[in-house]
Every structure is written in structure tokens, then in C-alpha cells.
Structure 1
């Protein structure tokens, strides 16, 4: 229950009478009564410090929202007492650090620390092994904990866009339950070489790393669940041949890159033609490269490449009236508005006209 102290204008939380949740029928001998999880909302109150009163039982708080304030510090003692918290939202404050005691939150599933001034995350965050969603967008992060991927085994969504990350730790490739990785608007120079364990990754956005990101790892071809790939506005000249093996890929955005392979005339024909071009290129060249031979075996193992020859794309004199796009695709052609033009995403129902 929320109460306002009219004399001091202070918001308090009253847990003297917790809500009761009943299990079983009214006539059941096994009927039990337990306090329901509480939601404590201190958001958008222009707070500089947390107004935690003595009657606040932190042990039964499931969600704590202190977002959109001016809070600079979260007390270590407060965090350590949030024993049953599942959702912690501290976005849009003035935090420069997170308390080390955040590692005590063994039941935490959602953590939103976006829109602060964090330069790093405490290593103890690795102890939050129930964590499923971590949002650290719009901070000043220069690196993530090195072993984050070994510990946060239940993580499904990792959002670290709009930071200063130069790389993702190699342990990222061990986030086997990860569905969504958003690392756009950073200073990424590379991705981990071995991504083959990200078997559930469906969305990968590494766009707008601009001049920093020049190449992609060949292991992209074993991301068997990948549906959306956004690599727009980087400095990539060549797509890995293995991308042609991504059977589930439906959206590909390569806008704003100085692509040479595939050439522009192939890119213009859309996603399916790009995949066929890359598959053909890999199928014909894998015997010439020991590195490609090693990945060829992995691609077969993961079922993303069947070794079948695909038709050769005729690149000269090909002037169709329109081209159907199976899966959304953004073309780099006609970028008249410059690097920051709106992304042009074509839906599967639209036609592509040269």
C-alpha cells in the first residue's frame, strides 16, 4: 500500500498488511496462505536518494522500479536484502556504478540499467544466474565482464547498444539460451570467432559500429536459428560465404557498407539471390582453403549446408521488371540521403524494382 506523508511530502510503502494469496479450494485441508510478491514503484519522482522507510519489507519485493530519477548511488545494504526480487528497473538515473551486492540477487530475471553513466558492470553480476534479460543500453561501457557468458546461462536477451564497447568477451559464445543480441552503436572491431554455441540466437544487430567493424566471423553460418541479421553502417567489404547457409534467415540489412562481395548487382536482387551467390562461392572454393574446409564440416554437422550446387547468378544484362523478396532486405543502392538516411526495410509482400 502506498501512502503520502502530507507533512513531509514523502512517499512511503506500507507492508504492515501484506496481500494474501490462497491456494486450493475453500474446503481443502491443504489450503495455505502466503504473502504475495509486492511491486514497489518509485519511478519519475525526481528522487536523489531512495526513500526506503523502516516498514519496507524488502524480502517480499518482486519488482522494484526506481527509474527516471536522479539517483547516483544504490546502497549495498539495500540490494543485499532484495532476496526475492525478480525485476529491478533503475534506468534513466545518474548511476556511475552498480553495487557489488547485486550478485546476491539469485532470483533476478530482468535487470534494466539503461540510460545511466556506467563504465563497467560489477563482476558479481555473473552470480545472477536466473537472469533472462539484461538491458544496459545508453551507458559508457567499455567492456563486459570476461566470463559473463560462462555464468549467465539463462540469459535470453542482451542489449548493450549505444556504449563504447570495442569487443564482446569470447565467453559470449557460450550463451546457449540467447535469443536476441543488440550491440549496435558501439566501437566494435570484431565479434568472437566461435559463435557455434549460440544455437538459439534469432536476432543479431551489430549495426552502426561504422569504421570500426571491418569483418565478420565465418562462424555466422552455424547460427542455425538466426532470423534477422543487421550489419548496416559498418565498414564491411565482404560477407562470409557461410551466410549463404542460414536457412531461417528472413531479414538482412547491409546498407551503408562498402560491399564488394557480393557485388552490388547481386545485392540488388535480394536476400535469396545473395544466399545463393554465397553458397555457390563457398561450394566452389572450400577445397582451396584449410580454414574453409574446417568450417565446411561444421556447417554440414549443424545442417546449415547440404553441399548442393546452386544456380550461377548471371550478373550482366539482368534487368527484370521486378524481383520478389522472400524475407525483408535493405538495399545499399540509391543512398541519396547519406549515411544517416532511414533504413529501407522491404517486407515479404513487397516487390523490389530496379
Structure 2
């Protein structure tokens, strides 16, 4: 045993030495990364960079008069994590933005951008995309299939009429701000956004008239703002929220729930809509598939009726017979991955594979 220990000690020391060398090398690489700040310098064109662009981790070009970013520049920012271009005069982003595979934060707010390049889908590390205060009329169709790490999508104060259906595949999304647009509707499969905590689609004024029933299946939602739209009826599924703490509905011509119910607060609104799920003939028939999904996902408290028990026309879906939520997140993710829209899309993502 003593001889074995003597034999192993030199090898162990060599291993530890190599580990320290690798650690030092990593620290050295971290130290080499630089932050370049050109904020508020009245720049109309980019300065000449004397340093290697590959060592820049954050580039701040905000509050200038830049109209474009050269393709060749963006393509060489290989280790860029944060790119801040807000408050410039830009009308488009370079296609080479897709080369920024490590980019986590992109801020292009307060510009004149009318569309995002499709190559932005290649920025698969992106966690925050801020496009507020631009002139966007649409987002790339398949953006949701690619940016699976996106946590914040901020597109308020644009000209969006729709959000692409692939938005429902942004399973990491926590904040979606699409207020002050021209939205006509929202994607139907919102239940796939299992981590969404805040949804703001306020101030789309006369354009937004309805909300999808799937809003009530947003398991993690804490804040919902649908104020100042043209919504007459809130979906009954809103009564099923477990975590919702803030609901803003003012500025809508609401009929259901009526104003006197809304004025009594969130808990009364939820009770009113829950009762509609139980008793409304329309809910039981038109929204049968959604209620069954609520049951299957164990969204409610209680127990499900056995198939052997007799069913009566007036008690098909009793609120007190449902389970509590426990498996919705897994099921929603599976729904997102195997969605027919995803498989028949012209550009299928391999990110889930």
C-alpha cells in the first residue's frame, strides 16, 4: 500500500498542477474580455477599433446618431454578450447579427427599425430582446422555434398587428410586453408559455377585441394587463388562475364580467368567471375542449369522476371535482415540442433535438 501511494503521488501532483494551469488560463481569458462604452458621444459613424473585436464582451453604442452597423464589424464580435444600440437613428440591423452566438442581451429600442433580420434566430443564447419604440410591423415567423432561452421579449410601442404563432414556443419566456401596438389577436397556444409571469397587451385600443381561452392556462402568470382595448368579454378561464396577483382591465367596454364585479377586485372577478365555467351552457359546449384540458392538466381542486359513474347533462363539469395543478408544465412543453405547427413549418428547429 505504501509503495502504491508513493507511485500515485507524482501523478496526482501533475494532475493538480494541470488543473491549476487550466484555471489560470481561464481567468486570463476572462480578464482579456473588455467593455467598450461609446454612450452619448454624438457619433454618426463607428470609430476605428484598435483592439481585437473578439475580446469585447459588452458594446454600448447607445444615445448616438448611428444609422447602421457594418456587417463586417458585427461578424467579428465573437464573444459579445451585451449589445446596446438604443436611441440611435437605425432603420435596420445587419444580417451578420446572427453570428453573435453568445449574445444574451440585445437592446435596439428607440430607433426606426421596421423589421428584424431573420438571422436573429441564430442568436440562440439570447435572453433579453428589447425592441421598444420602433416601427416594427411584424416579427420573424419562426422566432419562437429558435430563441428558446429568451426570458424577456419587449416590443411595446410598435406597429405589430400580430405576434407570430411560434411565440407560443418560447418556453423560457417570463415577460412579454406588447402594449401600444395594433394587435388584432394573440396566439392560441399560450398555455405552452409555462414560465410566463407578466403579460402586457394593454393599449392596443380598438384593435384587440378578444383574448384566447388559453390565457387561463398560463400556470405561472402573476400580472396580466389588458387595459384600454376593445374587449367586451374576458375568457372564463381567467377564473382558473392560481398565482395571478394583478389584473388590469380598465378602459374596455366590458360586459362579462360587468363593471360592478370588476370594481370589487380580482378575487370577485375570479369567482364570477369560475361560476360561469360551472354553470354556463355556452362554456360547457363551445369551450368543452378547453375545459377538458383544464381537467387533464389538473388545474382545479377536487377529484375527477370515474368513467363508470353516471353523468348528467347539468353536471358534466363541476368545479369541485377537479384536481390541483401538478403536471401542466411537462404537458405544455410536450405540446410545444410536438406541435403540428412546428413540424409543418418551413424551417424546423433542431434546438429541441
Name the TM-score class by shorter chain: 0.7 to 0.9
Taking a change above 3 Å as real, the CA distance of residues 240 and 93 of structure 1, as seen in their structure-2 partners, is same
Aligned to 2:182: 187
**Alpha-carbon contact 1:243-1:275 (below 8 Å) kept:** yes
Taking a change above 3 Å as real, the CA distance of residues 272 and 135 of structure 1, as seen in their structure-2 partners, is same
Alignment root-mean-square deviation, CA: 1.9
**Please, which of 198, 213, 221 is the counterpart of residue 226 of structure 1?**
221
Aligned to 1:39: 35
**Please, which of 134, 145, 148 is the counterpart of residue 150 of structure 1?**
145
Structure 2 counterparts to residues 281-300 of structure 1, below 5 A:
281-285=276-280, 289-300=284-295
Q: How many residues align?
A: 286
Cα distance in 1 for residues equivalent to 2:245 and 2:275 = 19
Q: Which has the larger strand fraction?
A: 1
**Please, which of 105, 115, 138 is the counterpart of residue 133 of structure 2?**
138
Cα distance in 1 for residues equivalent to 2:242 and 2:183 = 26
Cα distance in 1 for residues equivalent to 2:23 and 2:251 = 62
Structure 2 counterparts to residues 1-354 of structure 1, below 5 A:
28=20, 32-33=24-25, 34-35=28-29, 36=31, 37-53=33-49, 55-285=50-280, 289-306=284-301, 307-308=318-319
**Alpha-carbon contact 1:208-1:232 (below 8 Å) kept:** yes
Cα distance in 2 for residues equivalent to 1:29 and 1:102 = 34
**Alpha-carbon contact 2:277-2:284 (below 8 Å) kept:** no
Q: TM-score w.r.t. structure 2 length?
A: 0.78
Cα distance in 2 for residues equivalent to 1:59 and 1:196 = 40
Cα distance in 2 for residues equivalent to 1:283 and 1:90 = 51
Cα distance in 1 for residues equivalent to 2:270 and 2:225 = 15
Shift of 1:288: 5.7
Shift of 1:283: 1.5
Taking a change above 3 Å as real, the CA distance of residues 227 and 286 of structure 1, as seen in their structure-2 partners, is farther
Cα distance in 2 for residues equivalent to 1:29 and 1:235 = 64
Question: Matched residue of 1:211: which SS?
Answer: coil
**Alpha-carbon contact 2:276-2:283 (below 8 Å) kept:** no
Question: Matched residue of 1:101: which SS?
Answer: helix
Cα distance in 2 for residues equivalent to 1:242 and 1:198 = 16
Cα distance in 2 for residues equivalent to 1:135 and 1:84 = 20
Question: Matched residue of 2:153: which SS?
Answer: strand
Q: Which has the larger helix fraction?
A: 2
Question: Matched residue of 2:66: which SS?
Answer: coil
Cα distance in 1 for residues equivalent to 2:23 and 2:243 = 49
Question: Matched residue of 1:32: which SS?
Answer: helix
Q: TM-score w.r.t. structure 1 length?
A: 0.78
